[in-house]
Chains A and B, each alone.
Chain A
């Protein structure tokens, strides 16, 4: 396939609809280049002679093509300690608020969704080890989840390049990573074991709720890919995944207020986050 076949308007529309139904991600003509690049990659990988042929394989989920297709559309560009101010808010405010309703030894559950290739959930673990004096006092559980199964597999493996580590102080890299040669570092086994990884689509209510309820959820830069309906579904699922009084952190360009009225805005020194209100007692 030497040439870059451009999709007809109808093909493009069908593909985008398929993607939307599967992931909630919205792509318009403005993103045509982005979509076509990925479709061509998948057509080459599956040796599909035409778009029609590829689309038929996709719809039939031949050799798990849906998963491969979805994986091709996720963005996995991230790094450790991204949006450090939120990590700072986590230890100085969010967990402090959660401890008020906990006893020593109780679980503290934190969810990074989507977690991409693991930088965020591992950053949370490292940040807690470095900055939170209650690490040994509570039963901390960190879960990382993503719709992209290939990203989840990479997260579990825990190998990172120099770029992913650029924001980490050298002493932190030295403490929690082992050089693997070839400008690659592997995160320590204990850290890998301290984060549990799963594949999940936040639009899938049952799958989302099967993870239980969390004290804090980091859900950064995924709602921006959704349309209004999908955003609301995701927000409702995430709301139910929070313990009453639990917090959700979004990306710095995102606002929950425009999506759902379920949450209360909580303004702290380092970040604005959203909170599931404490349960209101039944009215008489």
Chain B
């Protein structure tokens, strides 16, 4: 179904319901979505496929969102600079600063409404919304 113009998003979150919620919203808006349970699985996904945007949770087992971003940004690979939208339940300024330092392009405090997620994704993927 996907053609070259279809934008691909990797949703990284350990909560199954959250992944389903984000995926469902993004797919309805025409994005193609893959899911990862944590940073380790996300890195594995990135080795095998191209993505236009990462939606990254912070607190996850084994490799959390910020460790994942630091690992990703430190590598000298074409996909090391994929835009990353970090989503978190933490709203303290130092948390946001830490995420930005780790390589986040944007930080949103949950809850993230479906419409807002689609807007952010469209923005990062360069899609015009009619």
Contacts and interface: CB of A to CB of B under 8 A. Distances in A.
A26 to B, nearest CB: 38
B89 A190 contact: no
Q: What range describes how many residues of A lie at the interface?
A: 10 to 19
Contacts of A137: 89, 110-111
A190 B16 contact: yes
Contacts of B87: 136
Interface string A126-152: 001100011111111000000000000
Contacts, number: 51
B22 interface: yes
B59 interface: yes
Given A105-B59, A105-B89, A140 B111 contact: no
B123 interface: no
Interface in A26-62: none
A137 B35 CA distance: 18
B20 A129 contact: yes
A244 B12 CA distance: 34
Given A134-B111, A136-B18, A194-B17, A129 B89 contact: no
A63 interface: no
B17 A125 contact: yes
17 contacts: A104-B89, A104-B90, A104-B91, A104-B110, A105-B59, A105-B89, A129-B17, A136-B110, A136-B112, A137-B110, A175-B24, A188-B20, A190-B19, A190-B20, A190-B23, A194-B17, A194-B20
Interface of B: 13, 15-24, 35, 59, 87, 89-91, 109-113
